[in-house]
Amino acid sequence: MLGDLEIASLVERFGVEPQQTGGVLLVDDEELNLVALRSFLEDRWRVHVATSGAAGLKIAATTPLDVVIADQRMPGMTGVEMLEELRRCRPDVVGVVLTAFADMQALESAINRANVFRFLRKPSHPAEIIQTIEQASAVVAQRRTIENLVQLLARRSDELRASLEELKTQQDLLLHLERLGTLGRLTAGVTHDLRNVMVAFRAAQSELSSEAGLPQGLREILTLGLEGVENMLRTLGTLHEFARTGSLALDLQELDPAAVLKDALAIARLDPAYRSHVVKSDVPSSLPAVRGDRQKLTQVLVNLVRNALHAAGPGQAVRVSAAASASGGVVLAVEDDGPGVPPEIRARLFQPFASAKGEHGLGLGLYMARLIVTSHHGTIDLADTPRGARFEVALPAAAGAVKAAGDAR
């Protein structure tokens, strides 16, 4: 893997010019915000300003730039819409979005369409903005340097080309980690607000439980709804945990795989798409026990079942099954009769921000599923099937379960 010293050596050897222009464009419809930002930036960068997205794009078309910082809430064209257009005409420039709102829809668009480098909450401290510009400028310089080096070395040996591809992969990973860090910071705020809402709903559930005339169906709906929100909180917590620490803490216990599947199906029933499909379950009662984190494994299965429900058309079947594996472990499978996984997505299916749902998903579900499964020393794969999609989760049996199976034989 090439490091900074190797890059510097190649730059010196082939005479690649410095790749930073020092240009920063600020786009905000409120001129006072532009004045405030410009006051502490212009002594370090060549600062350009625009009061609308359209004006910003016009400046970007003819001005040397490294970074564009755009306010999200602007009339006519939002910050994300502007950066999406900028990505088409100036793919070498990095975009940053400023917003005073925890706008998750804008976050999805920023990641999926505009490939935004960072998502900052307003008001931001000057030091945070300066640090962001420095980091974004470094990414721009590295990206442009790599692109120039690739062009210069295009006719060199296979070994050199392979090294540069590995370097590009490393850069993509760094960008993924940066975007995961942004998600982690935002999910922390969303989780806090959602927990406050849950306190109120739990109080309402307690009050309603004493109402003798309340229909049983309504009680069940409330209970299932609260369980669904709790599962959402756990999912957000898992994402925040990994974004913050780079690892997952597991509450390991000996588990019955059938119980995990039962939990997952109970939560999946809350999805409106569940009622329009035929969901079949084939789970024997004598499966080997596994050692795992029940909540996190349930999270994996819920994600797979919901993906299958959304992939299959109304009336089509979704099948959930479990079986003992040849190695003594367990294979949990979710299969649907939908159109299958597109070839362009299949190769990077378990990478972060790879989604077959277009702009309707962040593309983190399968990525988080793989993190959870591999942390259990298992595997998750997309199996080859004549139609639809079949995901298989293979987990090793708990040590006691393996011994018991051997004794039985």
Q: What pLDDT digit, counting tens, does each position of 313-362 carry?
A: 888 889 999 999 888 899 999 999 888 888 777 777 777 655 555 444 45
Is-cis flag, bond preceding 123, omega within 30?
Answer: yes
Give me the count of residues in the chain: 409
**What is the C-alpha to C-alpha distance for residues 139 and 146, in angstroms, rounded to an integer?**
10
Sorting pLDDT into bands at 50, 70 and 90, what band is 255? very high
User: Regarding predicted confidence, which is higher, 43 or 12?
Assistant: 43
Residue ranges of domains in the chain: 4-155, 253-408
Residue 232: band (very low, low, confident or very high) from pLDDT cuts 50, 70, 90: low
CB under 8 Å to 150, separation ≥6 — which residues? 164, 168
| Domain 253-408 sits in CATH 3.30.565.10 | yes
pLDDT bucket at 47, cuts 50 / 70 / 90 = very high
pLDDT of residue 404: 41
Beta bridge partners of 93: none
To which residue do tokens 């420095």 refer? 134
Listed in order, strand segments (DSSP E) in 134-175 are none
Q: What is the pLDDT of residue 337?
A: 87
Residue 172 has pLDDT above 90, yes or no: no
Express each pLDDT in 186-199 by its tens digit.
666 566 666 766 77
pLDDT tens, 300-309? 999 899 888 8
What pLDDT is stored for residue 218 in this prediction?
66
3-state secondary structure of 77: coil
CATH number for region 4-155:
3.40.50.2300
Question: Which string of DSSP letters, residue by residue, matches 318-350?
Answer: EEEEEEE-TTSSEEEEEEE-SS---HHHHTTTT
- pLDDT tens, position by position, 124-138: 899 999 999 999 998
Model-level pTM? Answer: 0.49
Q: Share the mean pLDDT of the chain.
A: 78
* Six-digit token string for 405: 């199976």
**Could you tell me which residues are beta bridge partners of residue 248?**
none
More confident residue, 221 or 402: 221
Using a pLDDT cut of 90, give the percent of the chain over it.
30
pLDDT in tens, 375-388: 899 999 998 888 88
What are the tens digits of pLDDT across the range 147-158?
A: 777 676 665 556
Choice between 244 and 117, residue whose per-residue pLDDT is larger:
117
pLDDT above 50 for 88: yes
pLDDT at 406 over 50: no
Same fold for the pair 4-155 and 253-408: no
Q: Is the pLDDT of residue 407 over 50?
A: no
Give 402 or 166, the one with higher predicted confidence.
Answer: 166
Write the pLDDT tens digit of every residue in 278-297: 889 888 888 899 999 998 89
CA 282 to chain centre: 31
